[in-house]
Structure 1
C-alpha cells in the first residue's frame, strides 16, 4: 500500500514524484476544495460567524479522486503550501476525508517545506506535525471579514451608483490610496523655476558645474516640515526668466577660483534578498511586469523546484545557502567579494521564521536552464539578488569641486564619481535577458588644486516646472501597501487585479489612473464608512489577523469586534444615501441646457461613462452626450446624405423593425428598438466605397468572407464576422 501525499497543484505533485519514487502516490487537490457559496452570504452572524462551506462544482471531481486515493493509503501527508492559505486547504482536505461516508477515519499528518527539493521533502517526512489551527483560523477570519464587507457594502453601491459594483475591506483602501494621490495631483499648483549651469576652464580642462547658491542662499532649498505637509518639497531662488538673465549677466563680470576639492569614498551596500513585495516591485520596475504576472512566473519556478516559497516577508537565508553562496562567490569572483550581511525587515507583521526568496541550488545557473521568457527573467533576478545580498558593497570615489566667485557671491558645485570596486554589482552578470546593470557610468572630473584660478567660459539657464506627485505604479502601490500594513504578501497581486478588473482604475503605460467610477465609489465610502477606509484601522485589522495566526487572539472575537459596529453603520448609511446622488460629478458648462425643460444640467456618471443630465432629474429625464448631442440628434443623422454615403442602412429585427442608432462608450452603434431591455447591438458597417477609402480592403476568412470593422477600448480593428464567438482579429494596415 502506497503512502499518499496531497499537494495543491499537479506541477508540484510531478516535481515531488521525481524525488520520492514508487513508494509514494503524490496527487493534487487543484487548489481549494471547499469555499463559501457564491450565491449567498454563507456566514451565520447569529452563530459565532459560522461559515457555510460547500464544495464548488469544479472541485467535485478532485474531491472524488482524493477520496479514492485516501481509501487505498495507510499514511497520508498533507503537503500544501506553508502559509495561511495552504494551511486552510490542508484543514479542509482533512475535514472532508475524515467526515466522508464509507471512509474510515485516519491520522492525517501535516508536512511543510519552503523549497521543493529532495532534502527538504525527506526532512519534512521525518518530522511530520499537525494542521496549525491558528493559521487556519486567521485565514478563516480574513475570508469571513471580506465576505461580510463585500456582501453588505456592495448592494449599497448598486443602489446609489451602478449595479454590479463591489467594495472590499482591503481593495477599497488600496483604491483610496490611488484616488488620494489623484486629488493631490489635482490640487497641485505648478511653479516655474530656473537653474544656472556654467562651463569653466581649468588649465585647458573643462568643468561642468551647477550654481549652488547666491549670497549664501541656496538656488534650490529643501523646505520645512510644515511646507512639506502642504505638498511643497522645495523653495526656489530664481523664479523668473528676467531674474535668470540678470544672474547670467552678473556672472560674466566675476572672476572665479577653486575654493575646495573634496574626495570621499562612498559605499553602496547590497539590498536584502527578495520578499514577495520586493520581487513584485522588481518585476514591475525592471521588466515592466504586473504583480500577477511576476507571481505566476514565481509560482511555476517554485513548483518546479527552482526557488524557495515565493510568498514571504522575511529576509532570512538558510545557513546552508549562506555556506554554499560563500563558496560560489569566492570561486566565481574572488575572496574580496563575499560579505555576510543580516537584514532586518521593516514590514509590519513579518514572519521572520520563514526564508526570503532564493534559488534552491546555486548550481542551477540561469544560462543552463531552459525556461519560458517570463520565468527566465524572474529566475535571473532572484538568482542575482540572492548572491548580491551576500556580497561586499560597491565602492566609489566621489569628488566635489566648489568654485566661488572671488567676491564670494556665487558658489558653483561640480560632482563626479568613479567606481573603485564593483562589489555586489558583479552578481548582476547573471541578469542577461533584460540586461540590467546597477552601476552608473563614471563621471570623472579633472584633477584640480584648491585656491587656484579658473575661468568661466560660458553659462546658461534651464527653465523647469515643478511636477505633481507621481501616480502610483504597481511597484510603488505595493510599497505603499506594505508601508501602511495593508494586506499581506499573498494579497498584493489580487488587490491590484481586482481594482483594475472592476474598472475602478486603468493602467496607462505603467501608471495606475483612477477612473470616474473609482473616484465616485471612494467618495461614497469615505463619507459613510470612514473607519473602514482609514489606513490605520485597516492595518490594525491586519495586525489582529496576525495575532490570530500566532494564537494570541480569538478569531470569532476579532470578527465580532469589527462586524457589530460595521453593521450599524451599514444600516445608517442605507437611510442616509437616499438623500445624495454620488453620480453627479459637477455642473455642466453654462451654455449646455436641458433639451426637455431648458434647465441647467449637471455632469453625471452613467453605465456608458459621463454625460449631461438635467438638474431636475428624476422629474425631468433630459440628457445630452458630452458633445452636446441628444439621442434625437443621433437618430436624425441616419437620414442625412453624409451618413448614407458612409454607412450601410440599419439592420432589421426579426419582426421587420429598424435598429436605432445609439451612442455608447466606444462610439455609435445599431441597437435593437427595445434596447436595453433587449440587449442586441450591432456595429455600424461602412459602405464598400467608404470602407476601402478609409481602411483599405478588409482581410478575408478561410471561407472567403470579409472581416468586419469593430471598435473597442483601444480603437478600431478588423474582426472575424463571427466575433466574439470566433476570437480572430487583425490590425488595420491601410494599403
Structure 2
C-alpha cells in the first residue's frame, strides 16, 4: 500500500480517484505543528532551537497518518508546491521519524501545479526528496516572525497600552497606509485653470483643443494660477483666428498583460469583482481544488500562490488554438509570447495562475460554480487567453493649432486615438485604480493650414487633489513593487491590520486609525530600521537566497537578532515620559494641528495654563492636560497645590462634530426643560458622548455605533440621557421591561434576560408586544444569566448556612450550595433527594476540591502566604488587575490544587513556571492574555 499525504480532504478525495486502489490518500488539514505562542518557542541562545507543538486536532490526524504508515510500503508527500507545502511535508516527516515508523520504507516528495489526472500521474512518475533549502527558508521566516512578534509586542504593550501587536511585514504595511495619510493631511491644494477652445472644421465637424503655449511660453498644468490670468487669455482667444499648423498621426502598439500572479489576481479581482484579497484567495482555493464535472472532480485552475508569469508550453499551444477558433487567425501572433516579472524579489519557479484546460470556456463551467467562483474563473480565463493574443494597433493623432490676435499668439493641441486593430482588447482590458481617462476620442479629418471656426472658449477652475488612500489592490501593488512580504502573505497581512483595529475600510479605501498611527509613530521613533522599506525588502532578498541554497539561514537569523534584541532591551528601559515626548513630536501635526491664529496648539482649552500631551492608560492613548493631578482629584492633597484639570479628548484633533476635540471645549446643545441643566456634546478618550450638567457625577450617555456627532441635537441628546426607558410591565409576572444601550448594543431587559434590538433607534420606539416576543425567543434559545435558573427542588438550609437546592444542568441534575455543585448519582431522582443526602454530596465535593465544609465568604479577599492563598479561600482573589484593553476583567486567583491562575473574563489561564505571582504587573497580565488569545 502507498500512503499519500496532501493538505485538504477535498484534494485527498479527488487524488484517490485518480491513483486507484493501490493508494490511500490522507489529509493533514494544513500544518500539523506550529510554534507555541509563548516565550521560549525559539531560543536564540541555543542556536535558534525551535520547539514545535501539536494541537489536539492535528494530533488525531497525525495518529491516523502514523497508523496508515505502519503497514505501508511507501510514503508519498504530495503537499502544495510552495514553501508552506514543503514545510508541511517536512513536519509530517519529522513526526513520523520520531515515532520510528519509517524503517525500510521509501519516502518520496512529489509536486503538481494542478489537480488534474495527467498532472498528478506525471508527478508520481517524477518524485524527488524534500527540498531542504526551501524548508530552511520556511524555518527562517517562521523564526523571524515569532521573534519580532514575541519580542516587540510586549514592548508595545508596556510603552503603548492599547496596542495589540507588531509584525515584521504587518508593521511595514501599516506604515505605508499611515504615511499616505500623512501626505494627505500635509497636502496643500493649489488653484489652477485650464483653457479649452471649442472649434469646428471646414466640414463643420466639432473639435476641442487645449491651450499648450501662450505668447511663446510653453504652459505646464499649474502655470495658469488664477482667474485674472485665465480671463486675460480667454479674452485674447475670443478675438483670435485659428489655423491648423500641423497634423501628425503615429501608429502605436499595445501589448497584452502577463497572466496572473497571486498579487495581480488580488488587484484585478478587487477592481473588477470587488473582492477583498482574502476572498479572492478563498475562491481561488476552491477553483484549484476543483468541482465535479461529468462525474469527476477536476481542478479548474493551477496553483494560486505564485509570482511566476510564465505558463507551460502545452498551455501556450492550447491558448493559441482557442484564439484561432474563437477569434480568427489574425488574432494569433506569429510567435508565442513569453513573459518575465518586473516585481522585486520575484521567484518564477512556478507557473502563473491559469485554467487547467483553456478549452473549458467560462460559460461551460458557470453552471457548476457559485457566482463568485464563476466570475473569478472567467477573469483568469480571459487574462490567460488575452496574454497570448495579438497586440492591439492604435493610431494616435496630434493636431497643433495656432491662434493669433493682434500681436499675441497661442498654440492649442487636440489629440485622439483610433483603434485600427483591437487585438487582445477585443477580449480583455485591465481595470484601473484611478479615474484617468485614456484619450480615446476620434478626431475629425483636418489638414495643415485649415482655418477653424470658434464656437466658444472655456476657462475652467481646478484645484490639485491629494494622493488617494490605498485600496487593498493598490496596497498589494505597492508592497510587491517594494519587495515587502510574499504573495501568499498579503491577504493575511491586510486582514491582521483590520482585526487589530489599526485600519478600517471605507468605500474600499484603507483609513488608518489613531491606534495604528500611534503604533507606526512609536516604531518609527524607536525601531526605525525595522520599518524601513529597503531593510524589509533586503531581508526578503536574503530569505529568497536561503530558499535557493545560497545563504545559511541561521546566519541570517543571527545578523537580525543581535541588534534587534539590543534595541528592544534599550527601549524597554526608557521612561514612559520619554516615549510620550517622542510621540508628541512625531505626531504633532496630527495630534496638535496648527489653529491658524498664531496660538499654541498645545495650550489646554479648559484651564489655559497646562499643556496638552499624549497620555496612556490601560484603554489606550488619549490627549490630556499637564495639570491633571489624580491625587487632588481623589481629595488627597490640599487645594493650594497646583490646579487640577481633567480635560481629555481623543487623539485625533479633528472629527465630525467633535468640537471639544478641536480644542473648543464642550458643545452646548441646549437646556433640559425638566432639570434646567445644560446638555452638552463632548468627546472623551472613549469617543463622543452627551452630558447633563456639570455636577461631580453628571449623567452621561455614549453615542451608539453609527451615530455621528454632527447629527446630534438637543432632542436626540435628551433621548439618550433618558435611557434606560421603561417599556411596560411583563404580562406574566408584572415585572418592568426596560430598553437601553449597552456594551453589546441596544437591548430590552426583563428579570435576568437581555434580548438584542435591531438598531439604536428601536430603543426609543420598541413596544410591549415586540419586547415580550424578543425576550421569549431569547429564553427559548437558552438566553438569560445562569443565576436566573430555577431550582427543581428547594431542600432548605445547609448546616453551615446557605440554601441548598437541586438544579437541572447540561450534564444532568445536581445539587448546589454556595459555589459547590455536586452531580447526583445516576440512579437518583431529583424529586426524591433529601436534605441529608444533598449535604453529604456537597461536603464530599468540597473536601475533594480542598475546601473546608464552610465555604469562604463570597467577597472575602484571600490572604497571601508567599504569593498563594490559604486553604480556607482556595478560590480567593489574590490581585485584581482591572479590565483588559479589549474588554474582560483580569485577576490573579489561587485555584487550589490547580495552582495560581490568571482569570480573564470567564477563562482561567495557568501561569508558567517562570512567572512570579507576587511580581505580576498589569502589563504582564495583558501579555499572558494576548498570548492565550493568539492560540484561540
> For this structure pair, what is the TM-score category when the shorter chain's length is used for normalisation?
0.7 to 0.9
**Alignment partner, residue 480 of structure 1:** 478
Shift in CA distance, 193/314, structure 1 to aligned 2, threshold 3 Å: same
Task: Indicate how the Cα distance of structure 1 residues 692 and 169 shifts in structure 2: closer, same or farther if over 3 A, else same.
Answer: closer
Q: Does 1:614 align with 2:625?
A: yes
- Which among 515, 518, 540 is matched to residue 516 of structure 2? 518
Aligned position for 1:573: 571
Partner residue, 2:303: 309
Q: What is the SS of the residue equivalent to 1:26?
A: strand
Structure 2 CA distance for partners of 1:275 and 1:439, relative to 1, 3 Å: farther
Q: Is 1:321 equivalent to 2:321 in the alignment? A: no
Note the 1:547-696 alignment, pairs <5 A.
Answer: 547-578=545-576, 579-581=578-580, 586-587=591-592, 590=603, 592-593=605-606, 599-602=610-613, 611-617=622-628, 622-625=646-649, 627=660, 628=666, 629=682, 633=694, 635-637=697-699, 647-648=724-725
Is the alpha carbon distance of 1:360 and 1:724 closer, same or farther for their aligned partners in structure 2, counting shifts above 3 Å?
farther
- In structure 2, relative to structure 1, the CA distance for the partners of 1:147 and 1:418 (3 Å cut) is same
How far 1:43 sits from its partner (Å)? Answer: 0.7
Q: Which residue of 2 aligns with 1:421?
A: 421
Give the equivalent residue in structure 2 for 1:276. 262
Residue 357 of structure 1 pairs with residue 370 of structure 2: no
Instruction: Establish whether residue 399 from structure 1 lines up as the match of residue 410 from structure 2.
Output: no
- 1:412-561 equivalent positions in 2, closer than 5 A: 412-428=412-428, 443-561=441-559
The alpha carbon displacement at 1:441 in A equals 9.2
Between the two proteins, the alignment pairs up a number of residues equal to 673
| 1:80 corresponds to 2:79 | yes
Structure 1 residues 157 and 705 mapped into 2: Cα distance closer, same or farther (>3 Å)? same
C-alpha separation in 2, matches of 1:90 and 1:545: 20
Report the CA distance between 1:17 and its aligned residue: 2.5
Larger RCO, structure (CA 8 Å, separation 6 or more): 1
Q: Is the 8 A contact 2:160 2:621 kept in 1?
A: no
Query: Aligned residue for 1:376?
Result: 374
Tell me the TM-score normalized by structure 2. 0.66
Q: CA offsets, 1:71-108, max 9 Å, x none?
A: 23222110001111110000000111222167756332
Mapped contact 2:757–2:763 kept (Cα < 8 A): no
Kindly state the Cα deviation for residue 321 of structure 1 after the two structures are TM-superposed: 0.7
**3-state secondary structure, aligned to 1:357:** coil
User: Residues 179-218 of structure 1, C-alpha deviation per residue, up to 9 Å, x if partnerless?
Assistant: 1111122221110100011111212221112112212333
Query: How far does residue 555 in structure 1 lie from its aligned partner after superposition?
Result: 0.9
Equivalent position of 1:331 in the other structure: 325
Match of 1:90 in 2: 89
In the other structure, the counterpart of 1:208 is 208
Q: Distance in 2 between matches of 1:361 and 1:439?
A: 36
Instruction: Give the conservation status (yes or no) of the 8 Å contact 1:604–1:610.
Output: yes
Q: Give the secondary structure class of the aligned counterpart of 2:130.
A: coil
Larger Rg: 2
Alignment partners' CA distance in 2, 1:682 and 1:528: 47
Measure the CA separation in 2 of the matches of 1:374 and 1:723. 40
Render the CA deviation track for 1:241-277: whole Å, top value 9, x for unaligned: 1221121111111111111112222211101111111
Offset, 1:166: 0.6
CA-CA distance at 1:488 after TM superposition: 1.1
Q: Distance in 1 between matches of 2:757 and 2:190?
A: 49
Cα deviations by residue, 1:471-529 (Å, 9 ceiling, x for unpaired)? 11111111111111111111111111111211111111111111111111111111111
Q: 1:249 aligns with which of 221, 235, 242?
A: 235
In the aligned structure 2, how far is the partner of 1:525 from the partner of 1:448? 61
SS at match of 2:37: coil
- Counterpart residue number, 2:363: 367
Distance 2:757 2:330 in 1: 71
Task: Render the CA deviation track for 1:217-246: whole Å, top value 9, x for unaligned.
Answer: 33325xxxxxxxxxxxxxx22111122112
1:641 Cα shift?
8.1
Verify: 1:38 aligned to 2:115, yes or no: no
**TM-fit CA distance, 1:394:** 1.3
Contact 1:648 1:684 in 2 (8 A): no
Distance 1:194 1:258 in 2: 24
Q: 1:68 deviation in Å?
A: 2.0
Q: Which string of whole-angstrom CA distances, capped at 9 and with x for unpartnered residues, describes residues 439-473 of structure 1? A: 97952221111112111110111111111122111
| Inter-CA distance 136–701: structure 2 relative to 1 (3 Å threshold) | farther
Partners of 1:439 and 1:188 in 2: CA distance: 24
Deviation at 1:647, TM superposition (A): 3.9
* Conserved? CA contact 1:593–1:600, under 8 Å: no
Equivalent residue of 2:573, what SS?
helix
Aligned-pair CA distance for 1:7: 0.4
Alignment gaps of 5+ in structure 2:
291-298, 593-600, 634-645, 650-657, 661-665, 667-681, 685-690, 702-716, 728-737, 787-936
* Cα pair 1:36 1:54 within 8 Å, conserved: yes
User: 1:259·1:450 contact (CA, 8 Å) conserved in 2?
Assistant: yes
* Worse-superposed segment, 292-301 or 400-409: 400-409
Query: Alpha carbons of 1:470 and 1:87: their partners in 2 closer, same or farther (altered >3 Å)?
Result: same
My pick for the range that moved more, 94-103 or 625-634, is: 625-634
TM-score normalised to the size of structure 1? 0.83
CA distance in 2 between counterparts of 1:61 and 1:520 reads 43
Which secondary structure state, in structure 2, belongs to the residue aligned with residue 409 of structure 1? strand
CA separation of 1:106 and 1:616: change in aligned 2, threshold 3 A: farther
Report the alpha carbon displacement of residue 403 of structure 1 after superposing the two structures with TM: 1.4
Within 2, Cα distance between the matches of 1:60 and 1:147? 22
CA, structure 1 residues 701+566, in 2 after alignment: closer, same or farther (shift >3 Å)?
same
Q: Whole-Å Cα distance in 1 between the matches of residues 499 and 45 of structure 2?
A: 34
The one-character-per-residue Cα deviations of 1:118-163 (angstroms, maximum 9, x if unpaired) are: 1111111111111111100100100001100111110111011125
Structure 1 segment 692-703 matched on structure 2, within 5 A: 700=770, 703=773
5+ residue gaps in structure 1? Answer: 222-235, 651-658, 671-679, 709-719, 726-735
Q: Matched residues in 2 for 1:47 and 1:704: separation?
A: 60
Distance 1:9 1:198, change over 3 A: same
Tell me which residue corresponds to 2:12.
Answer: 13
